[in-house]
Amino acid sequence: MFKYYGKFAPYLFIAPAGVILLIFFFIPFFQTIGLSFFDYSNSIYQPNFSGIQNYLDILKNPIFYKVMWNTVLYLVVAVPILAIFPLFLAVLINQKIRGITLYKILIYLPVIVSIVVAAIAFKWLYAQDGILNYFMQLFHLPKIGWLTDPKYAIYSVIIVTIWKGIGYYMMIYLASLMSVPKELYEACDIDGANFWQKHLTVTVPHLMPTIALVTTISSISAMKIFAEIYVMTKGGPLNSTKTIVYYIYEKAFENLDLGYASAMAVILLVIVMIFSLLNIFVFERGKYKI
């Protein structure tokens, strides 16, 4: 095809987006790394260069390990549930039965509603004399301090994240279920396979790429959890629900320890980048081919 555009046209088209990305992504990215080598703990106006001291401090801080542990809990509890349960739901909903649209709307609703409202709604369910503890009593179980007991609080928060994500991942699975060849299911029916045999031998192998995609997306989201914590627990009790992002927020905007917060942010960057690279180059390669 002949070249119908001027020499500068491509740059003019990219420039507006380029400027925004430069100011609000690339410069802050390098600034985060830069700030992480400075000590702000004495004064926010007179930082001292401190090399890798912030990183050493982090590694010595028991709260850091608590925060990482909470993130690991998120990864081992929330991620598998979010990868498997929505797939199961998508398979159920991907049939010609009545009321499908209504089911989809209701299950997708938590995705749409602001996380702040969702967190408030759950805080109310979790209240000491709230409705969940009523059900506990009904089953002759002791009342639980859902958000006040350090043993349980993190799981209560994880439940909110799972609850809010199910509809989203279900829709991703539904979209890719459409690509599974119908003949394979028909063959299963002829062979007399039951529901589980059918889906374990046909659906799951076919959707492996999507399952992998959902796993990485939900892992990355798990590492960015903030609003649930901010609204429900503020990281407490005893740091038991403190996540990486909440910790960064606290250090940066409450303690004004910019260097320490930035070092923590670099750690988050590295972890998220590993997962993202996996995502981009392994699972979604086609979408980002130049």
Partner 1 sequence: MKLKNIPIHFVLIVVSILSIFPFIWLLSTSLKGAGENIFAYPPTIIPQDFTWDNYVGVWKRVDLMRYFVNSMIVAGATVLLNLILSSLAAYPLARMEFRGKKITFFAILATIMIPFQAIMLPVYLITLKLHLVDAYGDVLGFIGLVMPFAVSAFGIFLMRQAFLAIPREMEEAAIVDGCNVFQVFWKVLLPMVKPSLAVLAIFTFIGSWGEFLWPSIVLTKEAMYTLPVGVNNLQGMFSSNWRFIAAGSIISTIPIIVFFLAMQRYFISGENEGAVKG
Binding to partner 1, residues 153-212 (CB under 8 A): 163, 166-167, 171-172, 174-176, 178
- Report the residue from 68, 77, 115, 202 that binds partner 1 according to the rule CB under 8 A: 115
- Report the residue from 56, 59, 72, 280 that binds partner 1 according to the rule CB under 8 A: 280
Rule CB under 8 A: is residue 222 a binding residue for partner 1? no
- Report the residue from 52, 56, 120, 141 that binds partner 1 according to the rule CB under 8 A: 120
Rule CB under 8 A: is residue 4 a binding residue for partner 1? yes
Cis amide prior to 237 (ω within 30 degrees)? yes
Rule CB under 8 A: is residue 6 a binding residue for partner 1? yes
- Report the residue from 80, 124, 238, 282 that binds partner 1 according to the rule CB under 8 A: 124
Rule CB under 8 A: is residue 64 a binding residue for partner 1? no
Nearest to 210 by CA among 126, 282, 136: 282
What minimum distance in Å lies between the beta carbon of 143 and partner 1? 11
- Contacts with partner 1 in 226-265 (CB under 8 A)? 226-227, 230-231, 245, 248-249, 252-253, 258, 261-262, 265
For residues 213 and 276, the answer to whether their CB atoms sit within 8 Å is no
Looking up tokens 């506990």 gives: 136
What minimum distance in Å lies between the beta carbon of 192 and partner 1? 15
User: What is the Cα–Cα distance from 126 to 133, expressed in whole angstroms?
Assistant: 7
Rule CB under 8 A: is residue 14 a binding residue for partner 1? yes
Per rule CB under 8 A, count of chain residues that contact partner 1: 102
Rule CB under 8 A: is residue 142 a binding residue for partner 1? no
What minimum distance in Å lies between the beta carbon of 234 and partner 1? 11
Rule CB under 8 A: is residue 26 a binding residue for partner 1? yes
Q: What is the dihedral of CA 146, 149, 151, 153, to 10 degrees?
A: 40
- Contacts with partner 1 in 90-109 (CB under 8 A)? 92-93, 95, 97-99, 101-109
Q: What are the distances in angstroms from CA 84 to CA 70, 101, 112, 209?
A: 21, 22, 21, 13
What minimum distance in Å lies between the beta carbon of 191 and partner 1? 18
For residues 225 and 160, the answer to whether their CB atoms sit within 8 Å is no
Of 154 and 252, nearer to partner 1 (C-beta) is 252
Nearest to 83 by CA among 162, 176, 178: 162
- Report the residue from 52, 72, 76, 273 that binds partner 1 according to the rule CB under 8 A: 273
3-state secondary structure (DSSP) of residue 13: helix
Nearest to 222 by CA among 238, 245, 239: 245
What minimum distance in Å lies between the beta carbon of 46 and partner 1? 16
3-state secondary structure (DSSP) of residue 220: helix
User: What is the Cα–Cα distance from 145 to 152, expressed in whole angstroms?
Assistant: 7
User: What is the Cα–Cα distance from 104 to 241, expressed in whole angstroms?
Assistant: 31
